[in-house]
Amino acid sequence: MSKIEVDKEKCIGCGACTAVAPDTFEFDDDGLAKAVKDEITDDVKLAAEGCPTEAITVE
């Protein structure tokens, strides 16, 4: 089973992941990103690699 998680302790709300993979990442009410899907697409992998604080975990 795939799983995508954003570590809110690390996320700085930069918006890179929501720009790269808008179907999967949205801003939560606290202004930080959250994953709204579990499917690991190429865009999700790119977003995880591109996150400046390495807050995104993909399993």
**Interface residues with ligand SF4 (CB under 6 A)?**
6, 11-17, 33, 51-53, 55-56
Nearer to ligand SF4, 1 or 9 (CB): 9
In sign, the C-alpha dihedral spanning 17, 18, 24, 30 is positive
Question: Residue 2 CB, nearest distance to ligand SF4 (Å)?
Answer: 17
Minimum Å distance from CB 24 to ligand SF4?
10
Place of tokens 């690699």: 49
Three-class secondary structure assignment of 9-34: CCCCCCCHHHHHCCCCEEECCCCCEE
Q: How far is the CB of 1 from ligand SF4 (least distance, A)?
A: 21
